[in-house]
Structure 1
Amino acid sequence: MKMHQRRDVTQATMDHFTPKPFDWCKAATCVHMVRRHVAAMGHSVPPMPRFRSALSAKAALTERGWSNLADMMDATLPRIMPAQVIMGDVVELQSESDVFGALCIALGDGRVMGYSEGNDGLSVMQPFASPIAAWRA
């Protein structure tokens, strides 16, 4: 996919999720954002079960044999080195509040978009720490 197409898909993902506050019940989580984005980037994505809490999200991962979000992403996209990330790729950041980690979408220059603790909606962030994993979308 050409860089301008990656930019357009990434912008469309941002436009769709920016007005949506994080909500387990309303399909507004990092997993929902990444799934929509990856599909728009032209990849085949597995169906997503409905989940309404962290507990049911964890159960959905376990049912598929995944222990965390990185396992889910490894089953969906090719893993790359975090230093190889370009706009539109998926990155995992360390999350302090849960066992899932945090999936975000790379915007370039080290910035990412994603849901973060302490913010009501989707945020553009410059993380303090490097991603712990990355996948080519």
Structure 2
Amino acid sequence: MLNAVERTAATEKVIARFRNRPFGWDTRRTCIHLARAQARAMGHRPPSIPDFRSPRAARAALKTQGHETLAQLLDSLFPRIPPLAAWVGDLVIMGGGDDFDGIGIAVGGKIVGYHEDHLAEGVVNVVPTGPDPYIGAWRL
């Protein structure tokens, strides 16, 4: 497992790779691609992502992997933790658009990920809202 300095450096590299690169189903710039890049940067070997180019195809790909939700997929790969216990570089899921939840990266009290109001900007700081904004979190 990486130490705090290594986790921060690895996370910064991944975020830099996705910043200023718009969300796109057809360009493979989605939250699952962000999550896989982060997992690899943290030393994990997650499975390849099936090729999909639309929300409908992404749902079908998830189901062919045996999962109904992104949370189930992450549960099969990493240990679940309380969202407020997330370290820099861990993954979190919050509700998202297109009937999909969104995966983001914890960065010291903030979350970085794609936000439906800022898709053209690439990954941004996402502010959790509501009484229970997190669906789950996973330790990388």
Q: TM-score, normalised by structure 1?
A: 0.94
Structure 1 runs not aligned, ≥5 long: none
Structure 1 residue aligned with 2:101: 101
Structure 2 runs not aligned, ≥5 long: none
Structure 2 residue aligned with 1:131: 134
For 1:7, the aligned partner's letter is: T
Distance in 2 (CA, whole Å) between partners of 1:108 and 1:16 is 19
Distance in 1 (CA, whole Å) between partners of 2:41 and 2:52 is 22
Give the secondary structure class of the aligned counterpart of 2:17. helix
Distance in 1 (CA, whole Å) between partners of 2:17 and 2:87 is 21
- Measured after TM superposition, the shift of residue 19 of structure 1 is 2.1
Q: Which runs of 4+ in 1 moved over 6 A?
A: none
Give the secondary structure class of the aligned counterpart of 2:77. coil
| Number of residue pairs matched by the alignment | 135
For 2:62, the aligned partner's letter is: L
Distance in 2 (CA, whole Å) between partners of 1:80 and 1:100 is 21
Alignment of 1:101-120 (within 5 A): 101-109=101-109, 111-119=110-118, 120=120
- Tell me the C-alpha RMSD between the 2 structures: 1.0
- Measured after TM superposition, the shift of residue 122 of structure 1 is 1.1
Instruction: Kindly indicate whether residue 79 of structure 2 is the aligned counterpart of residue 56 of structure 1.
Output: no
Distance in 1 (CA, whole Å) between partners of 2:117 and 2:6 is 31
Distance in 1 (CA, whole Å) between partners of 2:6 and 2:15 is 14
